Amino acid sequence: MSYTNLLTIAMPCYERKDYFIAALESALNQTVKCPVIVVDNCSSHDYFEKVSKEKGVTYFRNERNIGLFPNQNRCYSLAKTEYVKVLDDDDLLSPVYVESFLKAKELHPDIDVFFSDYVLLASGRELSHPFTLPFGYMENGFKVVEYGIKYRLGFPYMTSAIKKVKAQLDLDVNDCLGGYDWVWVYSNADQLSFYGDPGKFHQYRIHDDKASPKYWQVNLLTVPYIYEKILLEKISDPKLKKKVSRNVCMELIRLKSSSSKKILKEIINSDNRFGKYLNEKLNENVLLKTIYMVPRKLVRLFFKLFMLTEVF
């Protein structure tokens, strides 16, 4: 049986049981085996512990619920291998994921991040995702930055195996909600080496219990934050800078067009970098502030028109 100690598959979990066994078995049923660990974020039951024991998987349990992304950082801390692949408890890995990672590592020993293409899994059907991704070897990740600007942010962090010493997410102390995974990717991309495999080795499951509405809206806000606060500083090409500015405006209007007043108020009042960023934008941009005062239905119409114009 082939086995590697280069990579750990770490599964964070909390409460939800529905997809756990399928996800865990996809980690265990690799053509090349590797260490697998489960990190339970203080669930109210012992289901994950029992299943892990039955499967012979190392199980860890937090003393309290530390939050989604802090638990992901804990996965990185607990792993004892050079690379770590975090697998959400509702997603699935192809049996050849680890084998493909090892082939890339053999060809390019310096890689910091290995990622693969993926499919969406909805109601038992496989669907294509809408993003354009860079594949192959990248000595530095500027191509990741460039693709994020030209084709919209869409780096598949959830398919990535990352060098442990570089993997810790930079989190806010309070109200730790948002796309910290993408913040990590795009903040560090030009300092990391990547290998992207075009094989669809990951299934990202879509379902009603995936995350809260507020979580999704803060993720939308993460996109303009990354464009303006991170990517704008990494580029000098005037055309790309113009594209970034347009993307920022487009994404802020997208957020308003898809968010309820209640959720927007919660985001604006939140004590993290994303809420502070939205406050900053509304205070400095009179037009944007006016748009945010308009009923959502009208903003949706405005957003559709915005997508067809180069005015901004």
Cβ atoms 170, 183 nearer than 8 A: yes
Cβ atoms 274, 218 nearer than 8 A: yes
Evaluate if residue 211 carries a pLDDT over 90.
Answer: no
More reliable by pLDDT, 128 or 301: 128
Q: How far apart are CA 1 and CA 93, in angstroms?
A: 19
- Give me the amino acid identity at 51: V
Query: How large is the average pLDDT for residues 30-37?
Result: 99
CA-wise closest residue to 251 among 273, 276, 219, 287:
219
Q: With residue 279 as reference, give the H or E element that holds it.
A: helix 273-284
Query: How large is the average pLDDT for residues 153-159?
Result: 98
DSSP 227: I
Evaluate if residue 228 carries a pLDDT over 90.
Answer: yes
- The rounded Cα 89 to chain-centroid distance in angstroms is 14
Q: Which two tokens stand for residue 310?
A: 């180069």
- The domain segmentation of the chain, as residue ranges, is 7-206, 213-306
Query: How large is the average pLDDT for residues 49-60?
Result: 99
Matching residue, tokens 């690799």? 30
pLDDT computed for residue 11 by the predictor: 99
pLDDT category at 312 given cuts 50, 70, 90 is very low
CA-wise closest residue to 156 among 207, 107, 238, 93:
93
Look up the pTM and report it.
0.94
Strands 136-138 and 194-206: antiparallel
Q: What is the pLDDT of residues 72-86, one digit of tens each?
A: 999 999 999 999 999
Strands 36-40 and 58-61: parallel
Matching residue, tokens 């009042």? 269
Least confident range from 52-66, 195-209, 237-251, 296-310: namely 296-310
pLDDT more than 90, % of the chain: 84
Q: Which two tokens stand for residue 6?
A: 């280069």
Matching residue, tokens 């004892």? 80
Task: Give SS3 for 270.
Answer: coil
Evaluate if residue 311 carries a pLDDT over 50.
Answer: no
Average pLDDT, the chain: 94
Kindly give, in sequence order, each residue whose CB lies less than 8 Å from that of residue 262, ignoring residues fewer than 6 positions away. Answer: none
Query: How large is the average pLDDT for residues 243-270?
Result: 92
CATH number, domain 7-206, options 3.40.50.1820, 3.60.21.10, 3.90.550.10, 3.40.47.10: 3.90.550.10
Evaluate if residue 266 carries a pLDDT over 60.
Answer: yes
| Bridge partners of residue 40, in order along the sequence | 13, 61
